[in-house]
Structure 1
Amino acid sequence: MSLHTPKEIAQLAIQAGVAKSRAPISILLILGFMAGAFIATGFLLDLHVINSLPADWGSFGGLLGAAVFPVGLILTVLAGGELLTGNMMTLPVAWFARRISFFSVARNWFWVTLANFLGSVAVAWFFGHMLGMTEGDYLKKTVAIASAKVHADFLHTFISGVGCNWLVCLAVWLAFASKDVVGKIFGMWFPVMAFVAISFQHVVANMFIIPAAIFAGQMSWAEYFPNFVAVFLGNAVGGAVFVGLAYFLAFRPAVEPASSVQ
């Protein structure tokens, strides 16, 4: 059979969480930087697709842009990367199974957040600002997207973050389901495309588009910070609760004795 059962996926997610919790900081920084850059590149591709489409295409144009965005998660999962939003599911589910400590979850999230930020901002600065890929003809669209994100109120931003990472972590869950590359790609593609088309907020994607607007002189870091907090918290709930906890409770994978917690 080319697919793992949902119960088997739960075990694979726990194993992934345990492995991630034990990764050295140097590895988290390298792979986290790569994942941040991959997600930013997917967003950059999305931006370039939608910017060149006629305005009267409306939401169909947005769908086309959303259809290319998943390249970021595909690269992260298949080439290798540490992505905060995915880790918001795999680390908690390992914690629920009493295989790791809460400190291990927090440690991973801290270093991966930092590394994802550096990778995303690097793409925003070098490709977006220095090469002009988010400025010039693309500036109006860049600022419009970033402004919509930072000007949403805290509650709406939080809920948007929940919806986003519910879908992103389902994409990761489906990647665990498949035993072949093509299946993993298709499993990830549609949930990610859905969250982008809906315009849900992704904390790592925002690490690219909002700094891109900041580097263009159209926004400030002070405007970005409340958005970061709200989206981070929403993404954490979406991944840890709506995917990690939900499937842990549904499938009840084996729980290790408390003495084995790392």
Structure 2
Amino acid sequence: MQKDQPETASAVTPPPLDAYPPAQVAAMVEAVGIKKANAPFLQLVMLGLLAGAFIAFGAMFYTLTVTDSTLGLGPTRLLGGAAFSLGLILVVVAGAELFTGNNLIVMAWADRKVSTAALLRNWVIVYLANALGAFGCVVLVLLSGTLGIGGGAVAETAARIAEGKLALSFQEAFFRGILCNALVCLAVWLCMAAREVVSKVFAILFPITAFVALGFEHSVANFYLIPTGLLAKGGFDLAGFLGNILPVTLGNIVGGSLFVALVYWVCYLRKAD
């Protein structure tokens, strides 16, 4: 008669499947923020370059997906938003430093565990690295000839996307930036609550699909979308580009830092007087 084998701890107690509760997520986000604020320069640059490229991949996928769609406005934008979600999935699961998501470091800053200088250092390094990563993808896409797919239909879509962004007023771009990064930072927050990769992917999918479908503005995505669309037409409007990037970046900071990070800090981390 064969003796029963002793049960392992994992067999007796399966890993939990429930999401982490919000208070625990807040503590986790703060701890990650401290680590990000103190990360070495080279690491921030390399991971920032990757994030810029990852978001550009999502933007490329979005541009192709909405090209020549006959589904109608809502379904087309919904499908395009799902395609764009690739970018943040790569950032979160593969690992990278994204300026918009790093607005959550404000939780650690508000708790005085990260200095203002360290916060701004992270933001500036990561923002510039994201821009370089996205710009690099603009060059690669133009050299690859993929904008010629569909007899140039993808290039036409890219140009229309850029024209639409440059047509926004400062106010429109700013408030669309706020709304965008509120959803992006909530997507990152939900990812922190998830325990395994599939859950993280689904946590990203709906908020990111929503911000893209609703036409909100993401500064890092625009580092790819605007230059690609303008150069596809054979020109570049620097003033128009900066006229979009500035208000969108400011809006992203407000949306992520104030409407998500500070709100959750007050709810879960603020010490009682």
For residues 144-171 of structure 1, the C-alpha deviation after alignment (integer angstroms, 9 at most, x for no partner) is 1111111211011100000000000000
> What TM-score, normalized to structure 1?
0.92
Whichever residue aligns with residue 213 of structure 1, its letter is G
Q: Which residue, out of 115, 126, 134, partners 2:140?
A: 126
Mapping 1:28-177, distance limit 5 Å? 28-54=44-70, 57-89=72-104, 91-127=105-141, 129-134=142-147, 136-177=152-193
Q: Which runs of 5+ in 1 are unaligned?
A: 256-262
Structure having the higher Rg: 2
CA shift for structure 1 position 253: 5.3
The worse-fitting range, judged by mean Cα deviation, of 130-139 and 244-253 is: 130-139
1:213 matched to 2:226? The reply is: no
Query: Secondary structure of the residue that 1:53 maps to in structure 2?
Result: coil
CA contact (8 A) 1:88 1:240 kept: yes
Change (3 A) 1:182 1:253: farther
1:204 matched to 2:217? The reply is: no
| Root mean square deviation, CA, Å | 1.4
1:226 matched to 2:243? The reply is: yes
Q: Which residue, out of 207, 220, 240, partners 1:191?
A: 207
Q: Distance in 2 between matches of 1:144 and 1:65?
A: 15
Look up the match of 1:258.
Answer: none
> What TM-score, normalized to structure 2?
0.89
Report % sequence identity.
38
CA contact (8 A) 1:169 1:243 kept: yes
For residues 24-70 of structure 1, the C-alpha deviation after alignment (integer angstroms, 9 at most, x for no partner) is 1111110001011000001100111110422x622211111111111
Q: Which runs of 5+ in 2 are unaligned?
A: 1-15
CA contact (8 A) 1:125 1:215 kept: no
1:240 matched to 2:253? The reply is: no
Q: Distance in 2 between matches of 1:132 and 1:169?
A: 34
Between the two proteins, the alignment pairs up a number of residues equal to 252
Look up the match of 1:259.
Answer: none
Whichever residue aligns with residue 261 of structure 2, its letter is G
